[in-house]
A = this chain, B = another copy of it.
Amino acid sequence: MSRRIASTSAQELLTTESQIRAQLEGQPFDFDAMSAVSNIYRAGTAVRTHMERTVLGEHDLSWVAFTVLWVLWIWGKQETGHVADEAGITKGTLTGVIKTLVGQQLIRRTTHDDDRRRASLSLTPKGKTLITHLFPHFNQHEALAVSSLSLSEQRELARLLRKVTNSLNAETV
Protein backbone atom coordinates (compact mmCIF):
# COMPACT_ATOMS: atom_id res chain seq x y z
CA MET A 1 0.00 0.00 0.00
CA SER A 2 1.46 3.37 -0.95
CA ARG A 3 0.75 6.15 1.46
CA ARG A 4 0.64 9.86 1.20
CA ILE A 5 3.72 11.26 2.86
CA ALA A 6 2.93 13.19 6.00
CA SER A 7 2.57 16.79 4.91
CA THR A 8 3.10 18.41 8.30
CA SER A 9 6.19 18.86 10.39
CA ALA A 10 6.27 19.91 14.02
CA GLN A 11 6.01 23.66 13.53
CA GLU A 12 4.32 23.67 10.17
CA LEU A 13 0.72 23.78 11.34
CA LEU A 14 1.39 26.82 13.46
CA THR A 15 3.30 28.55 10.68
CA THR A 16 0.47 27.97 8.24
CA GLU A 17 -2.03 29.42 10.70
CA SER A 18 0.11 32.51 11.11
CA GLN A 19 0.28 32.97 7.36
CA ILE A 20 -3.49 32.68 7.11
CA ARG A 21 -3.92 35.37 9.77
CA ALA A 22 -1.55 37.59 7.86
CA GLN A 23 -3.56 37.09 4.66
CA LEU A 24 -6.79 38.02 6.43
CA GLU A 25 -5.30 40.82 8.48
CA GLY A 26 -7.55 43.77 9.19
CA GLN A 27 -10.73 41.78 8.68
CA PRO A 28 -12.91 41.28 11.75
CA PHE A 29 -12.73 37.52 12.03
CA ASP A 30 -12.56 35.40 15.14
CA PHE A 31 -9.09 33.99 14.57
CA ASP A 32 -8.98 32.01 17.79
CA ALA A 33 -12.20 30.21 16.91
CA MET A 34 -10.81 29.62 13.43
CA SER A 35 -7.67 28.01 14.83
CA ALA A 36 -9.53 25.88 17.32
CA VAL A 37 -12.11 24.59 14.84
CA SER A 38 -9.69 23.87 12.03
CA ASN A 39 -7.48 21.95 14.42
CA ILE A 40 -10.45 19.95 15.70
CA TYR A 41 -11.34 18.85 12.21
CA ARG A 42 -7.77 18.14 11.20
CA ALA A 43 -7.07 16.08 14.31
CA GLY A 44 -10.32 14.13 13.88
CA THR A 45 -9.38 13.20 10.33
CA ALA A 46 -5.84 12.30 11.37
CA VAL A 47 -7.16 10.00 14.11
CA ARG A 48 -9.52 8.11 11.84
CA THR A 49 -7.03 7.84 8.99
CA HIS A 50 -4.31 6.62 11.31
CA MET A 51 -6.49 3.95 12.87
CA GLU A 52 -7.79 2.73 9.51
CA ARG A 53 -4.27 2.44 8.14
CA THR A 54 -2.78 0.72 11.13
CA VAL A 55 -5.02 -1.23 13.50
CA LEU A 56 -8.16 -1.65 11.39
CA GLY A 57 -6.72 -2.21 7.93
CA GLU A 58 -4.91 -5.35 9.04
CA HIS A 59 -8.24 -6.87 10.00
CA ASP A 60 -10.36 -5.68 7.07
CA LEU A 61 -12.54 -3.56 9.30
CA SER A 62 -13.92 -0.16 8.39
CA TRP A 63 -14.07 2.51 11.09
CA VAL A 64 -17.83 2.15 11.41
CA ALA A 65 -17.70 -1.66 11.48
CA PHE A 66 -15.14 -1.45 14.27
CA THR A 67 -17.35 0.98 16.16
CA VAL A 68 -20.30 -1.41 15.94
CA LEU A 69 -18.20 -4.31 17.26
CA TRP A 70 -16.96 -2.07 20.05
CA VAL A 71 -20.47 -1.00 21.05
CA LEU A 72 -21.60 -4.63 21.23
CA TRP A 73 -18.50 -5.56 23.21
CA ILE A 74 -19.04 -2.82 25.79
CA TRP A 75 -22.81 -2.94 26.07
CA GLY A 76 -23.61 -6.52 25.10
CA LYS A 77 -26.63 -7.53 23.06
CA GLN A 78 -28.45 -4.40 21.86
CA GLU A 79 -31.38 -3.45 19.68
CA THR A 80 -30.30 -2.19 16.28
CA GLY A 81 -31.76 1.28 16.87
CA HIS A 82 -29.68 1.66 20.00
CA VAL A 83 -26.56 0.43 18.24
CA ALA A 84 -27.05 3.01 15.48
CA ASP A 85 -27.38 5.80 18.06
CA GLU A 86 -24.33 4.69 20.02
CA ALA A 87 -22.24 4.33 16.87
CA GLY A 88 -23.45 7.70 15.59
CA ILE A 89 -24.73 6.37 12.26
CA THR A 90 -28.11 6.21 10.56
CA LYS A 91 -30.14 3.03 10.60
CA GLY A 92 -29.69 2.75 6.84
CA THR A 93 -25.92 2.69 7.23
CA LEU A 94 -26.21 0.16 10.02
CA THR A 95 -28.19 -2.22 7.82
CA GLY A 96 -25.26 -2.32 5.40
CA VAL A 97 -22.71 -2.82 8.16
CA ILE A 98 -24.84 -5.61 9.65
CA LYS A 99 -24.72 -7.50 6.36
CA THR A 100 -20.95 -7.21 6.21
CA LEU A 101 -20.38 -8.23 9.82
CA VAL A 102 -22.88 -11.10 9.70
CA GLY A 103 -21.17 -12.28 6.50
CA GLN A 104 -17.85 -12.23 8.34
CA GLN A 105 -19.53 -14.19 11.14
CA LEU A 106 -18.55 -11.52 13.66
CA ILE A 107 -22.06 -10.62 14.83
CA ARG A 108 -25.44 -12.34 15.06
CA ARG A 109 -28.84 -10.82 14.36
CA THR A 110 -31.87 -12.08 16.27
CA THR A 111 -35.47 -10.94 16.02
CA HIS A 112 -37.60 -10.46 19.11
CA ASP A 113 -40.40 -12.84 19.92
CA ASP A 114 -42.62 -10.31 21.66
CA ASP A 115 -42.31 -7.48 19.10
CA ARG A 116 -41.31 -8.91 15.77
CA ARG A 117 -40.48 -5.54 14.25
CA ARG A 118 -37.47 -5.37 16.52
CA ALA A 119 -34.09 -7.04 16.11
CA SER A 120 -31.02 -7.24 18.33
CA LEU A 121 -27.36 -7.65 17.57
CA SER A 122 -24.71 -9.49 19.52
CA LEU A 123 -21.14 -10.66 19.03
CA THR A 124 -20.46 -14.20 17.91
CA PRO A 125 -17.62 -16.02 19.70
CA LYS A 126 -15.46 -15.18 16.68
CA GLY A 127 -16.45 -11.52 16.95
CA LYS A 128 -15.76 -11.43 20.65
CA THR A 129 -12.34 -12.99 20.15
CA LEU A 130 -11.53 -10.43 17.47
CA ILE A 131 -12.51 -7.34 19.44
CA THR A 132 -10.91 -8.69 22.60
CA HIS A 133 -7.60 -8.99 20.81
CA LEU A 134 -8.02 -5.92 18.64
CA PHE A 135 -9.04 -3.33 21.20
CA PRO A 136 -5.82 -3.39 23.25
CA HIS A 137 -3.96 -2.69 20.02
CA PHE A 138 -6.38 0.11 19.16
CA ASN A 139 -5.95 1.57 22.63
CA GLN A 140 -2.16 1.52 22.24
CA HIS A 141 -2.55 3.70 19.18
CA GLU A 142 -4.88 6.01 21.09
CA ALA A 143 -2.13 6.31 23.68
CA LEU A 144 0.36 7.02 20.92
CA ALA A 145 -1.84 9.79 19.54
CA VAL A 146 -1.79 11.68 22.84
CA SER A 147 1.69 10.62 23.91
CA SER A 148 3.06 14.14 23.55
CA LEU A 149 0.53 15.41 26.10
CA SER A 150 0.77 15.15 29.86
CA LEU A 151 -1.98 13.34 31.71
CA SER A 152 -3.58 16.59 32.81
CA GLU A 153 -3.38 17.92 29.24
CA GLN A 154 -5.13 14.80 27.96
CA ARG A 155 -7.92 15.31 30.46
CA GLU A 156 -8.18 19.00 29.68
CA LEU A 157 -8.36 18.22 25.97
CA ALA A 158 -11.24 15.79 26.52
CA ARG A 159 -13.04 18.29 28.73
CA LEU A 160 -12.77 21.13 26.20
CA LEU A 161 -13.89 18.91 23.33
CA ARG A 162 -16.96 17.72 25.25
CA LYS A 163 -17.99 21.34 25.61
CA VAL A 164 -17.57 21.95 21.89
CA THR A 165 -19.55 18.84 20.92
CA ASN A 166 -22.29 19.77 23.33
CA SER A 167 -22.52 23.30 21.93
CA LEU A 168 -22.84 21.99 18.40
CA ASN A 169 -25.32 19.27 19.22
CA ALA A 170 -27.44 21.69 21.20
CA GLU A 171 -27.78 23.76 18.04
CA THR A 172 -28.78 20.93 15.73
CA VAL A 173 -32.43 20.24 16.48
A interface residue numbers (CB < 8 A to B): 3-10, 13-14, 20, 23-24, 29-30, 32-37, 39-50, 53-54, 74-75, 85, 88, 90, 135-136, 139-140, 142-149, 151, 153-158, 160-173
Contact A167 B145 (CB under 8 A): yes
Contact A168 B30 (CB under 8 A): no
Q: Complex formed: what's the CA distance from A146 to B32 in Å?
A: 9
The 8 Å CB contact of A6, one of B3, B147, B169, is B169
Q: Complex formed: what's the CA distance from A49 to B41 in Å?
A: 11
Question: For A47, what are the chain B residues with a Cβ–Cβ distance below 8 Å?
Answer: 37, 40-41, 44, 164, 168
Question: For A50, what are the chain B residues with a Cβ–Cβ distance below 8 Å?
Answer: 168, 171-172
Q: Complex formed: what's the CA distance from A18 to B170 in Å?
A: 21
Contact B143 A30 (CB under 8 A): yes
Question: For A147, what are the chain B residues with a Cβ–Cβ distance below 8 Å?
Answer: 167
Contact A139 B29 (CB under 8 A): yes
The 8 Å CB contact of A35, one of B8, B44, B49, B154, is B154
The 8 Å CB contact of A13, one of B37, B140, B142, B166, is B166
The 8 Å CB contact of A142, one of B34, B48, B162, is B34
Q: Which residue of B lies closest to A20 (CB)?
A: B74
